[in-house]
Copies of this chain bind each other. A is one copy, B any other.
Amino acid sequence: MAANTKPVLHGYFRSSCSWRVRIAFALKGIEYDQVTVNLIKDGGQQEFQSVNPMQQVPAVEIDGITLCQSLAVIQYVDETRPGAKLLPADPKKRAQVRMISDLIASGIQPLQNLYVIQKIGADKVQWSQHFIDRGFKALEPILKQTAGKYCVGDEISMADICLVPQVYNAERFKVNMDQYPTIKRLNQTLLEIEAFKVSHPSNQPDTPADMSA
């Protein structure tokens, strides 16, 4: 695949990790093709096995390689494509962006994803609330220190790309967001931005008709 071929995103409208990649592509102005994958549907897992043996979305075919793991994809396009920078130039700010991103990507999201909840057989809402609350209780004081208009200072970064889909999940699981005024304020600001709107789960090719905006 030539470097100038459009990347192909294998994703799912409601997957928060797929949404991260869609936001990044929108912020950088990267055109891409979407292949929608329904991992819950019968047969969805088998079909997708060859693309990502981890059987998780997103997976992105880009520049002749297949990348899984949303943060690896986001940093790859940031390092190889022009446009808005998704990581700040200052090393301390970069570290804070990565800390916030990883707190969400390693500390919250894996514990409230559908596969895990099904495996546990726990109450979906109660379990997810517990782990989102645990993470947001840690995130709120960090963001109080790092945030300006956005998560780290006044430039949109990978941290913001991780925050908004996680808040979307929190709202699905009825987490009381009034406990987290900084997170809530940042999320509201970010949702006004075009790249976050066009990439929203309610606006995707595989969004069911009754959920479309």
In the complex, what's the smallest C-beta–C-beta distance from A20 to chain B, in angstroms? 12
A124 part of interface (Cβ distance < 8 Å): no
Check A98 against B69 for contact (C-beta < 8 Å): yes
A67 in complex: contacting residue of B67, B76, B99, B116, CB < 8 Å: B99
A151 part of interface (Cβ distance < 8 Å): no
In the complex, what's the smallest C-beta–C-beta distance from A32 to chain B, in angstroms? 16
Count class of interface residues, chain A = 35 or more
Check A107 against B76 for contact (C-beta < 8 Å): no
Check A107 against B54 for contact (C-beta < 8 Å): yes
Check A111 against B111 for contact (C-beta < 8 Å): yes
A69 in complex: contacting residue of B68, B106, B109, B119, CB < 8 Å: B106
In the complex, what's the smallest C-beta–C-beta distance from A204 to chain B, in angstroms? 23
Q: Which residues of A in the span 91-119 have a Cβ within 8 Å of any Cβ on B?
A: 91-92, 94-96, 98-99, 101-103, 105-107, 109-111, 116, 119
Stretch at the interface among A22-30, A130-138, A163-171: A130-138
Q: Which of A80, A119, A130 has the most CB of B within 10 A?
A: A119
Q: Is the interface of A mostly helix, strand, loop or mixed?
A: helix
Instruction: Write the residues of chain A forming the contact surface with B, with a CB cutoff of 8 angstroms.
Output: 52-56, 63, 65, 67-69, 71-73, 75-76, 79-80, 91-92, 94-96, 98-99, 101-103, 105-107, 109-111, 116, 119-120, 122, 130, 134-135, 137-138, 141-142
A53 in complex: contacting residue of B75, B79, B142, CB < 8 Å: B142
Check A137 against B53 for contact (C-beta < 8 Å): yes
Q: A53-B138, A102-B71 are in contact. Are A63 and B76 (CB under 8 A)?
A: no
Please name 5 further chain A to chain B contacts, defined as beta carbons within 8 Å, in addition to the given A54-B138, A63-B92, sorted by A numbering: A53-B141, A54-B107, A54-B135, A75-B94, A76-B94
